[in-house]
Structure 1
Amino acid sequence: MTQRITTVLTLALALTIAWGTLSPPGGAGIPWPLSDKQIHALAFCLLVLPLSLTRPASIRWLAPCAFAYGAAIELIQPFVGRSAEWGDLLADGIGIAIGIVPGLIRARLGRAA
C-alpha cells in the first residue's frame, strides 16, 4: 500500500469510529457477535494497523494520537446520549497495542536485514 492509500484508509477508519461511537446507541439494531469492548479493541487495532505496517516510524506519534482520539470520544459521548466508560478507553488502548505489533515486527526485521 502506498502512503497516500494508508493515510486515506486511516482517516476513513477514524471517521467510521467517530460515527459508530458518537451515534445514538442501538441505532442500527444489528446483533454483533462481539462485545462492546471487543469492538472497541478491533476498531482501534484497525485504525493504527495500516500506517504502522507501511510506516513503522509513525508508531511514535500514531499510538499516542489514536489513544487521545479514543479519550476525546469518551469525553464527547455523554453529550450525544451515550455513556463514557474507562473500560472502552482501556479496550481502545489494547487494540492500539495489538495494531502496532506488526509494524514493530516489520521495523525490527528491517533493521536486522
Structure 2
Amino acid sequence: MIILTMMRHYWFACTVAMLTVITLLSLNPMSDLPSVPGGDKMHHFIAYALLMFPVALKKPKHWLFIALLFLFLSGGIELLQPLVGRTNDWLDLSANWTGIMFSILLAQLIHRIFPSLLNQNR
C-alpha cells in the first residue's frame, strides 16, 4: 500500500525516470546492451507497463493522451533504431501497447479494490 501511495504521489518523477531509461536502452547499439533473461517482447511489455503504471494510478487530467503519447514515442524509437545500428521490429510496438494497456487495467482494478487509499489527496 505504501508503494502505491508513494508511486501515486511521485508519479511524474517515476514516469520521467522510466521514460529516460527506456529511451537510453532502446537507442544504445546492440553491442553495448547487457544480456537480460527473458524474451525481447517481454522486456518491451514490462518496460512500458512500468512506464504507464504511475500515470494510470494517478490518473492526471490527460492520462489517456499520455498513453497515446507513449505509444507514438515507442513508434518513434522504433523508427530511430536503425540509425544507431539496431533493427526495428513493429512487434515491439505491439508489446509496448500491450504493456501500456495492462497498466491501465491494473490501475483501474487497484482503484476499485482500494478506493479510499488512492482517493486521498487527489
1:74-93 to 2 correspondences below 5 Å: 74-93=78-97
Aligned to 1:31: 35
Aligned to 1:14: 19
CA contact (8 A) 2:48 2:100 kept: yes
Q: Aligned equivalents of 1:108 and 1:57: distance in 2? A: 19
After superposition, give the CA deviation of every residue in 1:23-66 in whole Å (9 maximum; x if it has no partner): 010314x3322111100010000000011112265431121011
How far did residue 108 of structure 1 move? 5.5
Counting matched residue pairs gives: 109
Aligned to 2:53: 49
How far did residue 102 of structure 1 move? 2.2
Q: Aligned equivalents of 2:78 and 2:16: distance in 1? A: 19
TM-score when normalising by structure 2: 0.78
Identical columns (%): 30
Which one of 43, 67, 70 corresponds to residue 71 of structure 2? 67
Paired letter, 2:98: I
Structure 2 regions of 5+ residues with no counterpart?
1-5, 116-122
CA contact (8 A) 2:8 2:54 kept: no
With over 3 angstroms needed to count, the CA separation of the structure-2 counterparts of 1:56 and 1:100, relative to structure 1, is farther
Structure 1 runs (4+) deviating above 6 angstroms are: none
Structure 1 regions of 5+ residues with no counterpart?
none
TM-score when normalising by structure 1: 0.84
